A = this chain, B = another copy of it.
Amino acid sequence: MKTRIVEVRQGILKKNDALARALRNRFAMTRTYVVSFVSSPGAGKTALLEATLRAAQPRFRVGALVGDLATANDAARLSRSGAPVRQITTGTVCHLDAQMVGSALDAWDPGPLDLLCIENVGNLVCPSGYDLGEDLRVVLFSVTEGEDKPLKYPPIFNTADLALISKIDLAEAAGFDRETAYASLYRIRPGLPVLEVSARTGEGFAAWMTLLEEHVNRKRGEGGGRLN
């Protein structure tokens, strides 16, 4: 049984990689910069995303895909930002994959986008293996989760391009030990860029938006001009 599981799993991942490459080509054509967010349930992905969609909108055309096992609560919440949002309901599936993203995009027309945000199912384990064709994978971990999370969940940190330490406004109340948290993170991923943010108080949010805008602008400028 074990061998068969591994074989099926490798088959799935190989198929996903091919679909992710197709997505990446699609996003290159439209010059859409794509950011995915992964974290434990409740680390603050949706709160950060809501603030991001609001802040980015005057300058960029933005949209979001949000994955959840059940409910369209997050999509409803994110729609308040005025940006087009589509929910992907996964049922019992514990992660998004490239096929789900592709199907959602085929069935949805948000118009041309400069920035597409993809919020994964809250899961610090399973999304790690699934390339979604994104340009930037952001892993959030909140100050209330404990400083050792990178050590205990290495694959998700290994596949991330940026870490956001979220709920930084709760650092003192939660007894957050900054030094230990960074040491854990750098032991798994030396040099990984890190930002500290609070969606509630806005702390660190400007730095996050600056980084994001630079990336979006760079992709818009690629090839010497806007296509649309």
Give A residues with C-beta under 8 Å from B: 1, 4-5, 8, 11-12, 15, 40-43, 68-71, 73-74, 92, 94, 121-126, 128-129, 141-142, 144-146, 148-149, 151-155, 167, 170, 173-175, 200
- Contact between chains at B42 and A125 (CB < 8 Å): no
User: What residues of B have a CB within 8 angstroms of the CB of A142 in the complex?
Assistant: 42, 144
- Contact between chains at B144 and A69 (CB < 8 Å): no
Q: Which 5 A-B pairs have the closest CB atoms?
A: A42-B145, A173-B173, A94-B125, A144-B144, A40-B40
- Contact between chains at A125 and B124 (CB < 8 Å): no
User: What residues of B have a CB within 8 angstroms of the CB of A11 in the complex?
Assistant: 1
A124: contacting residue among B4, B12, B123, B149, CB under 8 A: B123
CB distance from A196 to the nearest CB of B (A): 16
A152: contacting residue among B122, B151, B170, B175, CB under 8 A: B122
User: What residues of B have a CB within 8 angstroms of the CB of A71 in the complex?
Assistant: 148, 151-152
- Contact between chains at A126 and B73 (CB < 8 Å): no
CA distance A144 to B143 in the complex (A): 10
- A-B contacts, 25 of them at CB < 8 A, read A5-B8, A40-B40, A40-B42, A40-B122, A40-B124, A41-B149, A41-B152, A42-B142, A42-B146, A69-B125, A69-B152, A69-B153, A69-B154, A71-B148, A73-B152, A92-B128, A92-B129, A94-B94, A121-B125, A123-B124, A125-B126, A126-B126, A170-B173, A170-B174, A175-B200
User: What residues of B have a CB within 8 angstroms of the CB of A123 in the complex?
Assistant: 94, 123-126
